[in-house]
Amino acid sequence: MAHGDKEVPPEGVAVVMNARQISRALKRMAHEVLERHDGVEDLAVIGIRTRGWPLAERFAALIEQAEGTRPPTGAVDVTFYRDDYRLRAKSPGDYSDLTFNVDDMHVLLVDDVLFTGRTVRAAIDALMDFGRPMTVQLAVLIDRDHRELPLNADYVGKVVRTDRSDTVRVRLKEIDGVDQVVLIRTTERP
């Protein structure tokens, strides 16, 4: 439903990041990565499929823009590494796309939302099948807390306080045609 030139989300749905805010957050995080690593030497950017992949591509482009060198970029598919795999349909997924050696690299693992930590754990397991990185750091667009595993992000676009039953949806133009993060509340907050 539209109100003037802005889209008004349905009740219980809040836009927590728009396209401009997503862009700013990614630029800030890319500069934080460069400061911590003092450049791009031995740095690789790997996205977790599905929405971590386009975010990784954006990170690599921002790093290239700042440094003049694009780090190797790839994607990991965690479908067969998840601890709940036996509960899911048995399908081959999108597969990983790593055409470079991760041995002794500083890997920046990128995802859209950090929630329980289980997807990140699966991504690290998948990554280790491709070699032994020197370090693995995590960049996420949204950290919504509620960890079940002792994992935290090194770079965070935005922290969004949620109830466990809420849903955070990241929409990216490469997949969804729009850049936006929405919070869908499924319970009333006290």
Question: What are the structural domains, with CATH classification, of the chain?
Answer: 19-160 (3.40.50.2020)
Q: State the Cα torsion 47-138-70-74 to the nearest 10°.
A: -20
Q: How many CA within 13 A on the CB side of residue 30? A: 22
Measured CA to CA in angstroms, residue 9 lies from 15, 58, 183, 185 at distances of 7, 27, 10, 12
User: Residue 3: what pLDDT?
Assistant: 45
Q: Which of 147, 158, 174, 150 is nearest to 47 (CA)?
A: 174
Q: pLDDT per residue over 86-98, tens digit each?
A: 544 444 444 688 8
Residue range 123-177, pLDDT digits in tens: 999 999 999 999 999 999 999 999 999 999 999 999 999 999 999 999 999 999 9
Q: Is this model's pTM higher than 0.85 or not? A: yes
Whether residue 50 is preceded by a cis peptide bond, meaning omega within 30 degrees of 0, is yes
Across the chain, mean pLDDT equals 89
pLDDT attached to residue 157? 98
pLDDT at 99: 87
User: Phi and psi (nearest 5°) for 164?
Assistant: -60, -35
Q: Which amino acid is at 162?
A: T
Token pair in block for residue 7 = 């889209």
Give residue-wise pLDDT tens across range 16-55. 999 999 999 999 999 999 999 988 999 999 999 999 999 9
DSSP codes of every residue in 29-51: HHHHHHHHHTSSTTEEEEEETTT
Range with the poorest average pLDDT among 1-15, 23-37, 57-71, 81-95: 81-95
